[in-house]
Structure formats: C-alpha cells, structure tokens
Structure 1
Amino acid sequence: MGLIGLLSDPKIGKHLLRDEGEVVVDEVLHHWIVYVRPVIEAVVAVALVVATPFVLVELGGVLMLLALALLLHATWCALREHRDRFVITNMRVFRVHGVLSQQQATMPLHRILDITVVKPLHGRLLGFGHFVFESAAQEQGLRDIRYVGRADERDLAIQRVVQRSGLRGPRVVN
C-alpha cells in the first residue's frame, strides 16, 4: 500500500470491539456533493497550466505556482472528505475523521435520545441530509454529521439497530 492508500483509508475495522461481537451495520461516506468544489479547483488548476504558454513569461511562473497551490488544496479537501466516516454498528455510532491526525467520537446506542434529519432544499433535490444527534450528555463529540447520502434510510437503519438491541420499547401508535 502506497502513501495514497495509507492516507485515504481510515481503517474503520481497527475501531471495532470485535471481542464483544460488534459488527458494522453501515459505513457512511459523504455524499458526492462534497467533492464538487475540489473537482472545480482541480479543473481550474489544469486550465492555468494549459494557459501558461499563452501568457507573458513573467506571469508563467506565477500561474504555475497558483495551479500547484490549487491542485494541492483540491487534493487535501478531497482526501479530508474521503477520510471522514460515520459508522453505525450494532452497539454504537462513531465518527472517524482527519488526514494526518485522526479524531474519533463515539456514542453508545443507549445514549441516543433523538436524531433530527435536516434536509435543505438542495439536499432534497440531490439526495442528502444532515444528522443532528441529541444525547444524554450535555457536551458531546458526535452531534452534527453533515452530507449524509440517503439520510432517511440511514436514520431508519439506526432506529432499527436501537430497536433490535432492546434499548427502546415498541412504539405505540394512537
């Protein structure tokens, strides 16, 4: 595995409590919309490189440096989004993110009081939403999970796991 592979894989499996029987129910990557900006930046960087021979020699070096900076920023942003994972297991939900350093936030299923799914208009049109978790703790490291593809399906998956774990009684419908 090269440097790219090492940087792009957050290795979710190493965070699982396998001895306790923990298994992944769903691993959520960001919706494709988060990659639009890095792609636009990369296209602009390539356009600057292509335009370099057609400008004054004095500006050529500046354009190349600008193109390199844009390309590096686009790569960093895409890698940052790719490494940001939200994981639903049969015991908890957790988020792992970070490129050079890695952060992890965990919430056991029994601490989840409420999940709000926020779907702005463009999210409804493109198929993503944001999760807002309310827990029994006042301060938490896992509150907002943004740009979740198929947010309603993922919300139902969490509700099913909570229900199957026996942490909530059956819902009474009037």
Structure 2
Amino acid sequence: MLSGPDIRRHLLREEGEVVVDEVRHHGIVYVLPTLEAAVGVALVLWCAVVRADLAWLPFSVGMVVLVHAWWRAMREHMDRFVVTNMRVFRVHGVLSQQLATMPLSRILDITVRKPLHGRLLGFGHFCFESAAQEQGLRDIRYVGRVDQRDLAIQRVVQRSGLRGPRNPDGRPRVPEEEWMT
C-alpha cells in the first residue's frame, strides 16, 4: 500500500494494453501535509514543557494532527492518473479504491490550465471533456510537466487513428506528399 496503487492489475494485457505514462501528483501537494505534520510534532514536543497534569492535551491534539497529516499525504500518494495506448484512467483512494476510465475515443477536448504559481513551480491541471456528462476524470490536478504529458496524450490519440483526416470510408487520409512519391 505504501508503494502506491497497483496499476498493472488494471491493464487489459490480453488486449495489448500498455502504459504510456503514469502520472503522480507534483511534489507541491505535500507542502500542506508536511506543515501540518510539523505542527503536530511541535505539539507533541510541547507536552514536555507543559505541566504534567495538562500534558495529555497537547500530546493528544498533536497526535490527531499527525494522523491527519499522514492521511492527507497518503491520499495524494495513492492518486494516480494513467495513460495507456487504449484509454486513460485514474486510480485513487487509501482504504477503499476508486477507478475511473475513459477510452481514448471518448476524449473530445483536453484543456491544460497553468496558474502562475504552477508555471513557476512546474505543474498544471488537466480538464477533460468527453461525451459523458459526469466522469471521474474531468479534473486531474497538480500534474508535473503538464505540457509534455499533454503532448504524450495527443500522440497516443493520434497514433490510435481516432483523430486526423479521414476518407469517406473511415480510413485515415494519406497526406498528399506521401501518395505523390
């Protein structure tokens, strides 16, 4: 569990599905849990200088804060976005696990948002538009190297033959310079 979700068990191996990219959250998501853990440690250490009959209070609060910080960090650690040659999916959850899947053919549009602090620190957010109204893959936040990952998804979609010029019979159209030579 501490190593992260087992992505390989969700692959359709017999259908030839392979992982193109496994996306973990950018390290910025661990800043708040780390600060929270520091407060928890300070509270636990503070009980050493507090009167003995009151030491239980900062100790108890500190332990609750530490457990909450651990939970927040694990929630981020167990959240993965995966791009394969057939689909995109997201696996998340610490004790229970959720899986949301979208075939490449259902992706209508991908919006990449990069707030100012994201541009400075190297992360952004994906917003997927699909034919379905509700899905668990609409927003994928705090993606490191978001531009390269967007291009990787676009390449996978293009290589799958789902986008690009088509002939009336549905076959991909060959660029003019290829058939003229």
The TM-score with structure 2 as length reference comes to: 0.88
For 1:91, the aligned partner's letter is M
Matches within 5 A, 1:111-130: 111-130=106-125
The TM-score with structure 1 as length reference comes to: 0.91
Which one has the largest radius of gyration? Answer: 2
In structure 2, the residue matched to 1:135 is: 130
Q: Deviations over 1:109-165 (max 9, x none)?
A: 011010000111111111111100001122222100011111111100000000111
Q: Deviations over 1:24-70 (max 9, x none)?
A: 00000000010011111111111112221111223310000011101
Matches within 5 A, 1:157-172: 157-169=152-164
> Is this contact kept in 2: 1:94–1:104, CA < 8 A?
yes
Matches within 5 A, 1:10-21: 10-21=5-16
In structure 1, the residue matched to 2:96 is: 101
| d(CA) in 2 for partners of 1:151, 1:7 | 25
Q: Which has the higher helix share?
A: 1
**Paired residue for 2:148, among 149, 153, 173?**
153
**Paired residue for 1:80, among 75, 80, 84?**
75
Point out where structure 2 has 5 or more consecutive residues left out of the alignment. Answer: 166-174, 176-181
| d(CA) in 1 for partners of 2:28, 2:124 | 11
| d(CA) in 2 for partners of 1:54, 1:141 | 48
Given the alignment of the two structures, is residue 55 of structure 1 paired with residue 50 of structure 2, yes or no?
yes
SS at match of 2:164: coil
**Paired residue for 1:38, among 33, 40, 55?**
33
Runs of 4+ with >4 A deviation:
none
SS at match of 2:42: helix
Amino-acid identity (%): 73
SS at match of 1:129: strand
Q: Which moved more, 1:109-118 or 1:54-63?
A: 54-63
Structure number with higher relative contact order (C-alpha < 8 Å, ≥ 6 residues apart): 1
| d(CA) in 1 for partners of 2:70, 2:137 | 26
SS at match of 2:53: helix
Q: Which moved more, 1:33-42 or 1:134-143?
A: 134-143
Point out where structure 1 has 5 or more consecutive residues left out of the alignment. Answer: 1-5
